[in-house]
Amino acid sequence: MACVSAFSLQRITHNGPSSLRRSAQRLHPSPASPLSFSLSRADSGALLVLRAEEESKGSQAVAVKDGEGDELAVRKEELLKCRDALRDLIDETAAFGILIRAAWHDAGTYDAKKEGEWPKKGGANGSIRFPEETSHAANAGLDNAIKLLQPIKDRFQSVSWADILQMASAVAIEMAGGPKIAMQYGRVDVDSPEDCPKEGNLPDGAAPFGDGAETPAQHLRNVFYRMGLDDQEIVALSGAHTVGRAWKNRSGFGRGEEGTNYTTGEHTDLRQDGKGYYGKEGGMSWTPRWLLFDNSYFTAVNADDDPELLKLQTDTCLFADEAFRPYALKYADSQEAFFADYSAAHKKLSELGSKFDPPEGITLD
């Protein structure tokens, strides 16, 4: 984010100088100088040009914007461009899995019962970008997701980390053949590592469970109820493991570089768009086509063990637990039902603990 005191003046619009100055100061106030605010939307190129000059005879700030729109239109434009850039990134890297996981781990620290104002309850607020949080054991490997997204953040400085993470996940799911999720944006980022949640909020895949739970089902309930999510949402969200792999050297589950029949060697049908996967081989997937977002997680977990596919204790309990089982069976039977419930649960997850500016959020289409 470039902190500037002077920009070139181009054109003045009906929006007027003071309204945009107020907007800029609200976004990135500079206590040092009211007119030395951060140019957070500079990347939109011709879209927004601000001029702020401090002169001996007084200061002036001039805001310029193309077209008919207002500040919101500019932000929407940036979000749309950011989404296009994420689509390109995911298309090139096929990093579907790690991006979905990174967004969930930013949001999944939320504790509905915790006292205090935002961001005390944790949640989707971009705190996972800080090494203090990526270094939590549950986040092993997610520093790679942050590195992958950093150039996008550098390019679209007005878009928060919290939005970029959640947007990348929603885009990845859609590009992998999954549902289009009714996302909203405008999340505000926490400012410093001091706002990172303490370690130990995310679920463990197997006993011994960090919360002392005796069964995987109880552990899932402890963790997800804390976020305000229910049994149906737990089962639906678990279906995200239709995509991605587990790595021995990260979570301790799955395999290492030797991989499985599904994660090493040549596979031409992994992606729903028919494109090949040229990334790193190895690890262990939950499903044979692990770059496809469909309901095959539920059929695979419910099928006889395939030694080449992963089943965590927290996966198998979805069919063993009496209250989880009807949902798991329903999703194994109907992709349509899974997509409908997944979309609703994912949207909720993606907004846990988020503060939106504007408060009603920004929708794109």
238, containing H or E segment: helix 231-238
Nearest distance, CB of residue 262 and ligand HEM, angstroms: 13
Total interface residues for ligand HEM by CB under 6 A: 24
- Distance in angstroms (rounded) separating the CA atoms of residues 79 and 167: 9
SS3 2: strand
Choose between 119 and 244: whose C-beta lies nearer to ligand HEM: 244
Choose between 74 and 123: whose C-beta lies nearer to ligand HEM: 123
Residue 228 CA from chain centroid, whole number:
18
Q: State yes or no: residue 225 binds ligand HEM (CB under 6 A).
A: no
Nearest distance, CB of residue 25 and ligand HEM, angstroms: 36
Choose between 38 and 166: whose C-beta lies nearer to ligand HEM: 166
DSSP string, 18-66: HHHHHHHHHHS--SS-TT--EETTGGGGGGEEEEEEEETTEEEEEEEE-
Choose between 26 and 280: whose C-beta lies nearer to ligand HEM: 280
Choose between 184 and 242: whose C-beta lies nearer to ligand HEM: 242
SS3 365: coil
Among 177, 203, 259, 353, binds ligand HEM (CB under 6 A): 203
Among 98, 124, 181, 300, binds ligand HEM (CB under 6 A): 98
Q: 65: which 2 tokens?
A: 């914007």
E strand spans, the chain: 2-3, 38-39, 48-55, 58-65, 245-246, 284-285
Among 241, 255, 271, 355, binds ligand HEM (CB under 6 A): 241
- Distance in angstroms (rounded) separating the CA atoms of residues 357 and 234: 28
Q: State yes or no: residue 100 binds ligand HEM (CB under 6 A).
A: yes
- Distance in angstroms (rounded) separating the CA atoms of residues 89 and 145: 12
Contact between 342 and 299 under an 8 Å Cβ cutoff? The reply is: no
Q: State yes or no: residue 126 binds ligand HEM (CB under 6 A).
A: no
Nearest distance, CB of residue 207 and ligand HEM, angstroms: 11
| Count of CB atoms situated within 10 Å of the CB of 151 | 11
Amino acid, single-letter form, for residue 73: A
Tell me which residue of 39, 28, 33 sits closest to 3, measured CA to CA.
Answer: 39
SS3 348: helix
Choose between 156 and 177: whose C-beta lies nearer to ligand HEM: 177
Tell me which residue of 271, 338, 248, 348 sits closest to 302, measured CA to CA.
Answer: 338
Nearest distance, CB of residue 116 and ligand HEM, angstroms: 25
Choose between 24 and 236: whose C-beta lies nearer to ligand HEM: 236
Spell out the residues 6+ positions from residue 252 whose beta carbon is closer than 8 angstroms to its own: none
Decide the pairing of beta strands 245-246 and 2-3: unpaired
Nearest distance, CB of residue 178 and ligand HEM, angstroms: 11
Is residue 136 among the annotated active site residues? no
Q: Which stretch binds ligand HEM (CB under 6 A): 68-76, 80-88, 159-167, 236-244?
A: 236-244
Catalytic site residue from 105, 136, 219, 346? 105
Backbone angles phi, psi at 271, to 5 degrees: -100, 145
Nearest distance, CB of residue 358 and ligand HEM, angstroms: 26
Please provide the distance, in angstroms rounded to a whole number, between the alpha carbons at the two ends of the chain: 27
Nearest distance, CB of residue 160 and ligand HEM, angstroms: 20
Q: Which stretch binds ligand HEM (CB under 6 A): 19-27, 124-132, 148-156, 242-250?
A: 242-250
Q: Which of residues 134-153 bind ligand HEM (CB under 6 A)?
A: 141
Q: State yes or no: residue 104 binds ligand HEM (CB under 6 A).
A: yes
Q: State yes or no: residue 170 binds ligand HEM (CB under 6 A).
A: no
Q: Which of residues 19-48 bind ligand HEM (CB under 6 A)?
A: none
**Contacting residues toward ligand HEM, per CB under 6 A:** 97-98, 100-101, 104, 141, 203, 205, 220, 237-238, 240-241, 243-247, 250-251, 253-254, 312, 314
Residues annotated as catalytic are 105
